[in-house]
Amino acid sequence: MGRATRLAAACAAAALLTIGVPATGANAAEPTPRIDLRVLVVTDGGPATQAIIAELEGSGTPYTTVDLAAAGRPKIDEAFLSDSVDGRPRARYQAVVLPDDNPFGDGSAEMAALASYEKRFGIRQVDAYTYARPAVGLNYAQNPGYMGSLDGRTAQVTAAGASGPFGYLDGRIPFEDNSASVTESYGYLAVPLDQQAPGAGYTSYVDAPIDGTSARGSLIGEYTHDGRSELVVTFVYNQHQSQYRLLARGIVEWATQGIHLGADRNYLAVHVDDVLGSDDRWDTELNCTPGDIDCGSAGSGVENDPIRMTAADAEHAEQWSRSHDLPLDLAYNAGGSESYKEEHDGTDPLAQRLITDQSAFRWINHTYNHPFLGCVQDTGVVPWRCAEDPLGGTRWVGLGEIASQIDDNLAWAGRNNIAVDRGELVTGEHSGLRTLPQQPEDNPNLSPALTLTGVTSLASDNSREREQRTLGPARTVPRFPMNIFYNAGRTAEQVDEYNWIYTRKADGGSGLCETTANTTCLPEPLDTATGYASYIVPLESRIALSHVIANDPRPHFIHQSNLAEDRIAYPVLEKVLADYAGLHADNTPLVNLRMKDIGSELRRRAAWDAAVDAGRVSGYRIGDTVTVTTDGSHVPATLPPGTELAQTQGGVPFGSPYAGRRSGWAGPAGLQSAVVFTLPGGATPAAESAPVTAARVQKPAPEPVLPSGVREPVPYGPGDTAVSYGLGDTAGESVRQPRR
């Protein structure tokens, strides 16, 4: 994964981000100021500031936006930025994000107020996207320099970035290049000024080589001047692009000096559905799946050729899980094993192997026989519809059948001493939950069945329902469907079905890509021999990795068929793991949670967000003490190493280490209404002074005029505002054939 030196760099970063005191411009007799833990984002509506808002929102970090285009927006002045509480000066915002280094124009009173505020309280400013020029400590992007598309380039974290805010990265930052016809990221590469104003300096944190020269141009750097610090970003991005997702954590950590509410981690969990059962196989001649109602019927001569793991596949899964330190979550159907035994002299080598190696996995109840648990399906029509009773009402699968499917599966696990959390459940096809368009409401018998059987975490399909919701005693856990088809055990089958879905009728496909929203067509069919490795694996791994690095704990799910025969799931999973390891340092490992813990994380986030939005929680810092008043909600926070959580009987270490900080959740102690953290000594809220070399501290150079050919930041282009994930995934979701 990362280099060993990165761990040392992360420790250095912990110290680097928390030094200094807000002495500049402050009265020595003035009490230690109070710094409210809230970020001010001044936005122009462009993708760069929106991306930073998305990071703050996703991690649960409180923020306030001021839209420059909004009529009647508040004026940013001293009264807006600060006041006093209990005789103590208060900074209302711990960091400032601007769309560029001066969005108000030259001589603006608002910019002057911000500059004074930042200097007085040691507040940092992020310039979300600006162009290289002396006003931000850089030469123009000329001689040497570059301005233009950054698509396909690889940037690098500098030594200063690795020992500072980006110490959680392993160094490389690849820029996406998903379309040859669209500029996805425009930027400026420039070197720091040779002559800086007295006391000023520029330290590059992320750079890239400048074509045709030996120089490297900065893409992100810290410009210190006039007692203030700005993070200068000279390329545009949106919230979905991988280069931004990799850098988002560091931008926020730098801005907040590593002390803020909210937390950001990288998650990966993989659920394997239908284990012990079998999955119908795609027919490459019929272009459908025998067993589905739209692919022939009984007596039509169409036969099913099901896909089922073998004992050798199970052994491989055990070895893979252990060697990759990623336990697969096996959603099992015990009835599949019992049916197999009935047809094979009472033995099932697959079940025996999995039972022997059970500790390598986590097990999830997937019902005994995988029936559809919603309405009673009328399969006499295509597509199917809900059957009706004589009065025209919907016929529902009954409470007894749902409960027995849950309990019988648990009983099988009990007989085989397999550890299963009875609170977790994945129904077949996520059935029982509403299924549009045929079943627009939940099976009314599902909720009482969940109560009867003790289910508290119920899987749902993230492509249908992204948000959690409550059903009786249970909360749903949305899962990402991976675009590795349930009905494919061989690469040729996967590619053939992929071609059927994603090629035009003129090219031999179904033409669905021509009529389905948010789905694009392949320029030509993939080669069935090479298309999986050359196209599908890179695309699907990139989509999965985009979820992983977006602070999204939702699990991904595949099917047991994908671990059988050609074992087509492993190349995708291995590329996700390899790409992640090549981008992150050892101090930022993947977090692998079981389903109920994912549900708890999502539930806590929702409660925290609601409390923040309603103004029921607030946090502030005075010196080395952080206080968060709360309505009882648990508080997410990211704080320096050595931080302690106050308890009624002393303090205890807070959270756990991640990405060079400590983060986690904390609740009020005893009957208190506040959560109190004690920071390690010296972690005071002030602007960090970047290292300034003697060569850079010289007499100020005159401000040059804008050279010919140099442009201010280009308008946001199509690649800056749109997400280009590839076929069928314009919103980061995979198109998946429904399992029958």
Query: Whole-number mean pLDDT of the chain?
Result: 89
- CA dist 59 and 550 (Å) reads 9
Report pLDDT for 669. Answer: 78
**302-306, long-range: CB < 8 A, 24+ apart:** 304/280, 305/281, 306/278, 306/279, 306/280, 306/281
CA R_g for the chain: 28
Three-state SS at 579: helix
**Residue with the two structure tokens 């979905």:** 240
Contact 460, 427 (CB under 8 A): no
d(CA 704, CA 389): 82
Containing 309, the helix (H) or strand (E) segment is none
Q: Any idea which residue has 């769309």 for tokens? A: 99
pLDDT of residue 514: 93
> Phi and psi of 132, rounded to 5°?
-70, 125
Give the SS3 label for residue 228.
strand
Q: Is the dihedral of CA 149, 153, 157, 158 positive or negative?
A: negative
Cβ(620)–Cβ(35) below 8 Å: yes
d(C-alpha 101, C-alpha 130), whole Å: 7
* DSSP per position, 416-455: TT--EEEEEE--GGGBTB-BTTTB-S--TTHHHHHHHHT-
Nearest to 139 by CA among 224, 100, 196: 196
383: preceding bond cis by omega (within 30 degrees): yes
Q: What is the pLDDT of residue 301?
A: 67
Are 305 and 278 a contacting pair, CB within 8 Å?
no
Q: What is the pLDDT at residue 673?
A: 86
Residue 19 pLDDT: 37
Q: Which residues contact 414 (CB under 8 A, 6 or more apart)?
A: none
The structure tokens 């067509």 sit at 521
Model pLDDT, residue 271: 98
Model-level pTM? 0.89
Q: How far apart are CA 582 and CA 169, in angstroms?
A: 9
Looking at residue 735, its amino acid is V
- Cβ-contact 224, 690 below 8 angstroms: yes
Burial class (CB in 10 A: 0-12, 13-18, 19+), 633: buried
pLDDT for res 12:
40
Backbone angles phi, psi at 272, to 5 degrees: -115, 105
- Check residue 24 and give left, alpha or beta (phi > 0: left; psi -120 to 50: alpha): beta
Mean pLDDT by 10 residues, the chain (740 residues): 38 40 54 97 97 98 97 97 96 98 94 98 98 97 96 98 98 94 94 94 98 97 97 97 98 98 98 98 95 72 88 98 97 98 97 98 98 96 94 97 98 98 98 96 98 98 96 98 97 97 96 88 96 97 97 98 98 98 98 98 96 96 96 94 90 96 91 91 46 33 47 51 38 38
Q: What is the pLDDT of residue 716?
A: 53
Cα(321)–Cα(560) distance, integer angstroms: 14
What proportions of the chain, in percent to the nearest 5, are helix, strand and coil? Answer: 30, 25, 50
What is the pLDDT, as a whole number, of residue 701? 40
**How far, in Å, CA of 173 to CA of 184, rounded?**
15
